[in-house]
Amino acid sequence: MTKCIVVILFSFALFSCKGRHSADGGERRSVRVEKATAVGYIDRDFAGMATADDAVNLAFKISGQVLSVDVAKGDFVNKGQLLSQLDPRDVELQVAADLSQYERARAQEERMKRLLSHEAVSQQEYESAYASFVQARSTYENSQSLLSDTKLRAPFAGVVERTYVDTYQRVQSGQTILRLVNPRSTTVEFTMPEKSLSLLADSTTRYYVVFDNFPKEQFTARLDTYAKTASDASGFPVALKISKAESEKYGISPGMTCRVTLRAVDNSPQGVAVPLSAIYAPSEGGSYVWVVRADDTVERRAVVLGDIFGQGMVSVISGVGVGEKVVVAGVYHLKNGQRVKIINQ
């Protein structure tokens, strides 16, 4: 009796499944869909990096022995702060000698001027004394300037990125002592291919920056500079500027990586945008999308593709209309006319 019940139940289940399969007209495959939208604009993304607004290698104008290096790598310094100094003894001796010569020449010029007023000397003798005085004064002022050059001071507030010399080391004029970098950056640099350079000349192009450290914050940027020639095959260097207020608010510093987006108005209004994952490219060739019809069946449509842009989007010049639903997942497992179940309705 039990055996008969099992057989009857199995037969009923088999009949029910077969009947449901037939009623649906085939197996219903679960798919995800997106609506094709008007392009309007096209985004092109590039990898970028924040670079220093101010960065300089500092050096002494004169040769000498390093008396001290007053900062270390990573130190923050204020504008005008003493960074390093040379032993000033040789320069001080020169300043003293030039001062003595200057005072003698000044006294002689004053004496000759008094004698000239009494016509005790000629005009030529006075002019000779005056020329010697001017020369001595210039020499003295120059040596005073050299004395101030024995001290290296910060031209702007920043961070010491690296030091290159040690105390008591003898250095030559122009030899790099340390590198100073502004810790806040408003400059973002990236490279772009030649075919995209036309976007830079388009007044409708807008620029946006998203730093990896702040993925939810989008910074509006402006075009600063770009090179119309490239020294290698990596692309053309472009520099953007973000606002100083935003840079300081989020602490944007040189070396931070980011994504740069160039948004341009689309010049082909007949095109629509679909996710790149919606494109079906079978081995026999061609580009297609699966369009979900009103009766939940799919239709394979041949399409003409435009540019890839934004985050995994592609423009379709023909084959799909605005508002039509296209399958974006599982496109290689469908058949023409197959009934589907939309799971992200």
- pLDDT tens profile 294-334: 999 999 999 988 777 767 788 888 888 888 999 998 888 89
Side-chain-facing half-sphere of 98: CA atoms under 13 Å: 20
- Tokens 């300037």 correspond to what residue? 145
What is the per-residue pLDDT for 317?
A: 85
What is the per-residue pLDDT for 128?
A: 92
First to last CA, the chain: 48
Largest CA distance in the chain: 154
Q: Which residues are CB-neighbours of 172 under 8 A, at least 6 positions away? A: 63
Is residue 269 pLDDT above 60, yes or no?
no
In this prediction, residues 66-93 reach a mean pLDDT of 93
Report the distance separating Cα 207 and Cα 209, nearest Å. 7
Q: Which residues are CB-neighbours of 28 under 8 A, at least 6 positions away? A: 296, 339, 340, 341
pLDDT confidence tier of residue 20, bands split at 50, 70 and 90? very low
- Go through the domains of the chain in sequence order and give each one's CATH number: 26-40+269-342 (2.40.420.20), 44-54+183-265 (2.40.30.170), 60-86+151-182 (2.40.50.100), 88-149 (1.10.287.470)
